[in-house]
């Protein structure tokens, strides 16, 4: 059984990249392709897809406008695709399944599709008549990092990491007891971490929201995230968005 999918993006290269990667997923069937918001709304209403890859910024109507124009019983699983990371909170407020940042890798897209498969298996969120995909084990958020340390492998809990910093094709896991190097890109790792606990605050840093004590203004137009131990991290993300995410994170902490 297939996941009936619509691809929506106003840039042909972006649609081509999605088609190329989705063609490698055996249970994904592309049933529509659109390059603007109104066409996407019409296509979704007609095709009733299971999944839509939806660009946020398009002529006439963007991704959020498309979602809000659809009746609740016609709303498929949504994966937003964008070059801008500042809309992630709003995306999850409209119950998006995932949020892909361009240029994404095949591995990152596969992860998004796995999350869609998981979501389509939940009976309460599957509208009548909706075709569901082949059942797969649930895909949880990452709980531990497997880090090589000489002849052994350490399993470091995500909650024990203060922040994660990019270093070319590696990342550095920064903890109160020392740092650990992991062979992974920051972009790929970001999609495996719970958005309730971790937030990318700049191009090179993801912070554990539970380790943030304050947001402090620095030079004109600059903001710093202050950690529990007084360390400061440069933040290029909008401070209002980070503030909202911090409140949300605090509400989720037992």
Buried b (16+ CB within 10 A) or exposed e, 153-164: eeebebeebbbb
pLDDT tens track for 111-151? 999 989 988 874 333 443 444 444 444 456 888 998 888 78
Which residue has tokens 């529509």? Answer: 32
Q: 87-102, pLDDT tens digit by residue?
A: 666 776 777 888 888 8
pLDDT of residue 128: 39
Q: Is 245 inside any structural domain?
A: yes
248 pLDDT band, cuts 50/70/90, is low
Q: For residue 65, what are its two tokens?
A: 């406008």
In this prediction, residue 52 has a pLDDT band, given cuts at 50, 70 and 90, of very high
Q: How many folded domains does the chain comprise?
A: 2
Tokens of 40: 């996407």
195, part of any domain: yes
Does any domain span residue 134?
A: no
Residues 6+ apart with CB under 8 A from 87: 56, 64, 80, 99
Is 85:237 a contact under the CB 8 Å cutoff? Answer: yes
Helix, strand, coil percentages, rounded to 5, for the chain: 30, 30, 35
- Measured CA distances, 78 to 31, 51, 144, 228, 230 (Å): 15, 6, 27, 36, 39
CATH of residue 241's domain is 2.40.50.1020
Note whether residue 133 is domain-resident.
no
Residue 246 lies inside a defined structural domain of this protein: yes
Containing structural domain, residue 95:
3-125
Does 183 have pLDDT greater than 60? yes
Quote the tokens at residue 143: 């709980």
CATH number, domain of 50, equals 3.40.50.2300
Mean pLDDT for the chain overall: 82
- pLDDT of 154: 87
What pLDDT is recorded for position 123? 38
Q: Is 22 a member of any domain? A: yes
Alpha-carbon gap, residue 193 to 134, rounded angstroms: 25
Residue 177 and residue 205 share a domain: yes
Q: Is residue 137 part of a domain?
A: no
Q: Are 51 and 77 in contact (CB under 8 A)?
A: yes
């Amino acid at each position: 059984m297939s996941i009936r999918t619509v691809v929506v993006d106003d840039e042909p290269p972006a649609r081509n990249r999605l088609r190329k990667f989705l063609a490698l997923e055996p249970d994904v069937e592309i049933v529509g392709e659109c390059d603007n918001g109104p066409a996407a709304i019409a296509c979704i209403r007609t095709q009733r897809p299971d999944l839509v890859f939806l660009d946020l910024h398009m002529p006439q109507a963007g991704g959020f406008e498309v979602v809000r124009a659809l009746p609740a019983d016609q709303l498929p699983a949504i994966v937003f695709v964008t070059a801008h990371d500042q809309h992630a909170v709003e995306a999850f407020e409209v119950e998006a399944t995932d949020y892909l940042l361009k240029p994404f890798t095949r591995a990152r897209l596969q992860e998004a599709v796995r999350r869609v498969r998981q979501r389509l298996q939940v009976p309460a969120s599957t509208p009548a008549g909706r075709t569901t995909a082949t059942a797969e084990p649930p895909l949880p958020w990452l709980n531990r990092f497997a880090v090589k340390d000489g002849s052994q492998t350490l399993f470091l809990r995500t909650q024990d990491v203060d922040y994660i910093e990019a270093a070319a094709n590696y990342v550095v896991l920064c903890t109160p007891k020392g740092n650990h190097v992991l062979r992974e890109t920051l972009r790929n790792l970001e999609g495996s971490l719970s958005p309730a606990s971790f937030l990318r605050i700049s191009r090179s840093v993801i912070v554990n929201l539970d380790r943030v004590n304050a947001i402090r203004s620095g030079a004109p137009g600059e903001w710093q995230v202050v950690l529990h131990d007084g360390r400061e991290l440069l933040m290029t993300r909008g401070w209002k968005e980070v503030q909202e995410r911090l409140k949300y994170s605090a509400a989720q902490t037992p």
